[in-house]
């Protein structure tokens, strides 16, 4: 079906043992961590000493061999990044670290509309001709770039791939590939973002240079602010390794040791970098960096992150904020177009589980956001298409939990070989290209492939909560404790609760948000609440079971408790 679906509230099961976490001294935290599989206190230790060694990454010694020789012989190293926040932070980290090691380094950021994603033959042709021994280093891309690597090597480049995306059946013929998801890699974390992979490669390179007598090498910990931003913005799962990297990076930023560009991006969004949270990265910093790659040139994002003084950093951050405002305007229009098209389909009796939307004047840099928005509204896998260069359609796919979108696209390709020109991605997000002539057949094939794997349980949106809160836990102190207990994010979800409340008062604010005064059904003081993107008033004569997060609302130097509502049903 293509209409909004019913939702259900599911309490999380305890995977770990709360008793093993008694040292926390707080039963609520013990229960929350145990529900996320935390089995002992060591999993909550985010010290750098607990990170796994780089030697477990397959291909890292070969990569370091190539890079160390290039540094020693003063051969050029050219970094090719991706046009998202992970790519921008990865590129910045590689360039800054290599420069500090004494390397000759430059970077090239492909433009979405001109070059397409990743290292392609077109990108190779746009780069300067290499000299003997020059190195092309990819960050956050390259694992699927078989043709691009072949073209680069034919042009005379040595190629080192660093990536985290899932590999295809054939690996590119590079001198070295570092990717925890490549076959045979025993690295414990398969969830590193691209910036996490290049962080490990630079750590290994630093160790090699130090062992061969190079002195004055900067500590890699100075780049952890970049790792935190790229990791959170790319929405990779926060396993213990990623939580450690994010925690350490946030600690640096809050202590005033973050780079000026990150601070400027936070300030441009009205956020205090001294209290920066993963939510701030995910909702205000990441989108501003991403806006450059969606609508302009990601070189702008890299220049902001590489700025060494506050003045240029602030100027770049304001430019990125302006581009992001343009992106939001375009996104609102495109979402309205998609909603209208889906409403018309529903009126015509057309029902699909795999949703495909397309706009003749849509911007290809924004279709991923459109797919995400429609996925959120309808709880179905979605592909959104926009016109691309050369008479092609550029698509971005987003999925729901339990439906592996890359596998779905592979099933489409297997059922109709050649229907998709190219595709790649993750379990929850992917990109693809079609010819216009293939579009009608893809709509049906995608729906068929989704229906083959969509069970009734997966089709019903589930809100996984940490249960109900007792009255004594509905406090600002609890909200602060939970905020500090992170970092929370993908795969390590922020605490979510449910409970029955009565509406004391309510009003619409900001055109489409519902501001609430709530009374817990169990009694106690009234609590402020906000339900974003919900513009329908609730029935004040009955109770409502609400799914919510506890939030610390800071305004004019004062802090108060807010319930951020995510879902509700009448009781």
Instruction: Split the chain (571 residues) into runs of 10 and give each run's mean pLDDT.
Output: 64 91 92 95 95 97 98 98 96 98 96 86 96 97 96 98 92 98 97 98 98 91 98 95 98 97 97 95 97 93 97 97 96 96 93 96 94 95 92 94 94 96 85 94 97 94 95 94 95 96 96 94 92 94 97 88 95 91
CA-based nearest residue to 313, from 383, 242, 372, 260: 260
pTM > 0.85: yes or no: yes
What is the SS3 assignment for 422? strand
> Residues of CATH 3.90.1640.30 domain(s) within the chain?
51-235
Return the CATH fold of 51-235.
Answer: inorganic pyrophosphatase (n-terminal core) (3.90.1640)
Instruction: Please identify which residue in the block is written with the tokens 């040139």.
Output: 297
- Give the whole-angstrom CA distance, residue 494 versus residue 437: 44
Please give the CATH number for the structural domain made up of 463-570.
Answer: 2.40.50.460
Please give the CATH number for the structural domain made up of 351-461.
Answer: 3.10.310.30
Asked whether 261 and 311 are in contact (CB, 8 A), the reply is no
The pLDDT assigned to 5 comes to 55
- Give the whole-angstrom CA distance, residue 77 versus residue 183: 27
Give, in order, the Cα–Cα distances in Å from 269 to each of 210, 230, 314: 40, 18, 11
- Give the whole-angstrom CA distance, residue 415 versus residue 395: 19
> Residues of CATH 3.10.310.30 domain(s) within the chain?
351-461
- Give the whole-angstrom CA distance, residue 320 versus residue 300: 7
> Residues of CATH 2.40.50.460 domain(s) within the chain?
463-570
- Strands 392-398, 429-435: pairing kind: antiparallel
Q: How far from the centroid of its chain's Cα atoms is residue 120's Cα?
A: 23
CA-based nearest residue to 522, from 480, 454, 479, 468: 468
């Amino acid at each position: 079906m293509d209409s909004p679906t019913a939702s259900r509230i599911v309490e999380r099961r305890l995977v770990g043992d709360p008793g093993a976490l008694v040292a926390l001294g707080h039963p609520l935290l013990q229960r929350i961590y145990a529900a996320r599989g935390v089995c002992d206190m060591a999993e909550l230790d985010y010290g750098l000493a607990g990170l796994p060694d780089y030697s477990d990454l397959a291909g890292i010694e070969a990569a370091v061999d190539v890079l160390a020789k290039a540094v020693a012989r003063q051969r050029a190293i050219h970094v090719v990044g991706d046009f998202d926040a992970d790519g921008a932070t990865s590129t910045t980290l590689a360039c800054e670290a290599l420069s500090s090691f004494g390397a000759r380094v430059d970077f090239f950021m492909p433009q979405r509309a001109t070059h397409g994603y990743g290292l392609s033959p077109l990108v190779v042709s746009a780069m300067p001709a290499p000299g003997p021994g020059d190195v092309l280093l990819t960050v956050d891309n390259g694992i699927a770039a078989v043709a691009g690597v072949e073209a680069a090597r034919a042009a005379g480049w040595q190629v080192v791939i660093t990536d985290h995306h899932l590999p295809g059946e054939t690996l590119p013929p590079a001198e070295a590939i570092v990717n925890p998801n490549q076959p045979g890699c025993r690295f414990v974390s398969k969830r590193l973002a691209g910036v996490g992979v290049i962080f490990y490669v630079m750590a290994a390179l630093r160790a090699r240079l130090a062992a061969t007598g190079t002195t004055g090498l900067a500590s890699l910990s100075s780049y952890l602010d970049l790792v935190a931003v790229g990791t959170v913005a790319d929405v990779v799962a926060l396993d213990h390794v990623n939580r450690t990297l994010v925690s350490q990076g946030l600690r640096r930023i809050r202590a005033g040791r973050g780079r000026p560009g990150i601070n400027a991006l936070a300030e441009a969004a009205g956020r205090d970098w001294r209290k920066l949270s993963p939510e701030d990265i995910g909702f205000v910093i990441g989108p501003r960096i991403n806006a450059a790659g969606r609508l302009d040139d990601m070189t702008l994002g890299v220049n902001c992150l590489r700025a060494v003084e506050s003045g240029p950093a602030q100027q770049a951050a304001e430019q990125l904020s302006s581009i992001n405002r343009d992106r939001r305007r375009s996104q609102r229009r495109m979402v309205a177009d998609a909603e209208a098209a889906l409403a018309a389909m529903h009126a015509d009796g057309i029902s699909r589980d795999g949703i495909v939307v397309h706009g003749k004047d849509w911007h290809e840099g924004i279709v991923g956001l459109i797919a995400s928005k429609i996925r959120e509204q309808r709880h179905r896998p979605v592909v959104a298409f926009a016109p691309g260069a050369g008479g092609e359609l550029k698509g971005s796919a987003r999925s729901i939990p339990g439906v592996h979108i890359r596998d779905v696209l592979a099933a489409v390709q297997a059922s109709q070989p050649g229907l998709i020109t190219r595709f790649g991605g993750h379990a929850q997000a992917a990109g693809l290209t079609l010819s216009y002539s293939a579009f009608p057949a893809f709509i049906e094939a995608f729906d068929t492939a989704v229906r083959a794997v969509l069970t009734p349980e997966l089709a019903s949106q589930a809100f996984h909560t940490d249960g109900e809160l007792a009255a004594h836990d509905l406090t600002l102190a609890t909200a602060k404790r939970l905020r500090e207990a992170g970092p929370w994010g993908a795969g390590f979800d922020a605490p979510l609760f449910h409970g029955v409340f009565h509406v004391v008062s309510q009003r619409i604010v900001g055109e489409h948000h519902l501001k609430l005064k709530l009374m817990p059904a169990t009694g106690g003081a009234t609590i402020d609440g906000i339900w974003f993107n919900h513009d329908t008033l609730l029935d004040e004569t009955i109770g409502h079971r609400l799914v919510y997060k506890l939030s610390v609302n800071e305004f004019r130097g004062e802090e108060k408790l807010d319930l951020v509502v995510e879902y509700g049903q009448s009781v």
